[in-house]
Amino acid sequence: MADHRPPSVHLSPTPADRPVYVIGAGPGGLAAAYALRARGIRAVVLEKADQVGASWRRHYDRLHLHTTRRLSALPGLAIPRRFGRWVSRDNVVRYLEKYTEHHELEIVTGVEVFRIDRSPDGTGWVLHATGGRELTGSAVVVATGYNHTPHVPDWPGRETYTSEFLHASEYRNAKPYAGRDVLVVGVGNTGAEIAVDLVEGGASRVRLAVRTAPHIARRTACGWAAQYTGVLVRRLPVGLVDRLAKLMARLSVPDLSGHGLPRPDTGLYSRVNEGSIPVQDVGIIDAVRRGRVEIVAAIEGFEDDKVLLADGSRVGPDATIAATGYVRALEDLVGHLGVLDAHGKPVVHGARTPAHAPGLYFQGYTNPLSGMFRELAIDARKIARVIAQNAGIGLSRLPG
């Protein structure tokens, strides 16, 4: 276990033995820790990995933020201009490391929290962690990540399938798949980008299995980033945004119906509210139009070492990559507290806490059009402000 406590931690007016605990040293947890420290509150970040930004370190090599550098900075530190407009995975990691160092955040690595309970006196929270630890905090910010645990559907016959099969979380680059036939399952941003990466990396054939046609948006048009539009329409009525998005799609995105990707029946913003964000085009449109990525039906199961598709066809790829998403995996941690909905997501997030669980905050469990990093930064400040108010603390004590 490594303890990265700075030599001059700013002590909080909350009880010395009850800091605010932040679970997770990803972007959301680090932002919350700084925002709390900036208001004079001791925040201790608990991270089960041995470094900050662990999930970002595991992403595939070509990944870049789909949001702009200027609108992706966390509170108190700009992302270096040299990182470019679309920040790479490796530079996101460098930024998170620098963020931790610059703000002298108190990070304890190698500690996994398994369960959170109300403290016996009802005034705080007890965290049950590795090594038999029981840590009592005045408040807790849960920031374990939107993409926490890989999800693979329970497809019939999957357990007897012997050809190469992996979740997208295990994919790094196209080198192992050069000259091979690969099926990518799922057409979210991850699936679409991996399919393009495989094509550019020399895979002999790339098929993309699609169950529901996605909304596709140009990442930028005439210098205008899609994120800017996401920020502008965030508070507009859903129906209005759906109509505007439909018009914009017809003007900027070609009809791919003839290639197996019809325009969606439901509106873009309606889909976002259901948890499905648009696919940012980083090459998928051209790849589909040129036939380099073939669209096929969704997977129904596996049989005789073949992949069964929903249209009744059978394919035998050399490798199958399941870009089928992640689950939050919060049930063991807080499921017994009645703070999750039927899908395992927090019933509230940001500065709001469940009525029966005051002092328990959730950071980073939404994926809005306006950009996750941007919203993490906004919510971090809101969370810190509410905790400070509850502790009777006034204005920020450190520059923000």
Q: Over the stretch 347-373, which tens digit does the pLDDT of each residue have? A: 999 999 998 999 999 999 988 889 999
pLDDT (mean) for 287-299: 97
pLDDT in tens, 211-233: 999 999 999 988 899 999 999 99
Domain end marker among 263, 291, 322: 322
284 in the same domain as 195: yes
Give domain status of residue 395, yes or no.
Answer: no
> What backbone phi and psi angles, to 5 degrees, belong to 21?
-95, 135
Give domain status of residue 5, yes or no.
Answer: no
| Mean pLDDT (the chain, rounded) | 92
d(CA 26, CA 55): 7
Query: What confidence category does residue 16 fall into, taking pLDDT thresholds of 50, 70 and 90?
Result: low
73 in the same domain as 183: no
Query: What confidence category does residue 51 fall into, taking pLDDT thresholds of 50, 70 and 90?
Result: very high
Domain ranges, residue 285: 150-322
375 in the same domain as 236: no
Give domain status of residue 45, yes or no.
Answer: yes
333 in the same domain as 289: no
The whole model's pTM is what? Answer: 0.90
293 in the same domain as 154: yes
166 in the same domain as 63: no
d(CA 175, CA 70): 32
258 in the same domain as 197: yes
pLDDT in tens, 128-171: 999 999 999 999 999 998 888 999 999 999 999 999 999 999 99
Q: Is the pLDDT of residue 30 over 90?
A: yes
182 in the same domain as 291: yes
Domain end marker among 272, 306, 322: 322
What is the 3 state secondary structure string of the chain? CCECCCCCCCCCCCCCCCCEEEECCCHHHHHHHHHHHHCCCCEEEEECCCCCCHHHHCCCCCCECCCCCCCCCCCCCCCCHHHCCCCEHHHHHHHHHHHHHHCCCEEEECCCEEEEEECCCCCCEEEEEHHHEEEEECEEEECCCCCCEECCCCCCCHHHCCCEEEEHHHCCCCHHHCCCEEEEECCCHHHHHHHHHHHHCCCCEEEEEECCCCCEEECEECCEEHHHHHHHHCCCCHHHHHHHHHHHHHHHCCCEHHHCECCCCCCHHHHHHCCCCCEEECCHHHHHHCCCEEEEECEEEEECCEEEECCCCEECCCEEEECCCEECCCHHHHHHHCCECCCCCECCCCCCCCCCCCCEEECCCCCCCCCHHHHHHHHHHHHHHHHHHHCCCCCCCCCC
216 in the same domain as 170: yes
Give domain status of residue 7, yes or no.
Answer: no
What is the distance, to the nearest Å, from the Cα of residue 302 to the centroid of all Cα atoms in its chain?
29
pLDDT (mean) for 188-205: 97
- Beta strand 125-129 pairing with 133-137: antiparallel
Lowest mean pLDDT among 7-16, 135-144, 202-211, 249-258: 7-16
Q: Is the pLDDT of residue 44 over 80?
A: yes
Cβ atoms < 10 Å from Cβ of 341: 9
Domain end marker among 280, 305, 322: 322
334 in the same domain as 220: no
Give domain status of residue 14, yes or no.
Answer: no
Supply the CATH number for residue 139's domain: 3.50.50.60
161 in the same domain as 282: yes
Give domain status of residue 106, yes or no.
Answer: yes
**What total number of domains does the chain contain?**
2
Give domain status of residue 342, yes or no.
Answer: yes
User: At CA 175, angle to CA 284 and CA 201, rounded to 5?
Assistant: 30
Query: What's the confidence (pLDDT) of residue 294?
Result: 98
48 in the same domain as 143: yes
Give domain status of residue 9, yes or no.
Answer: no
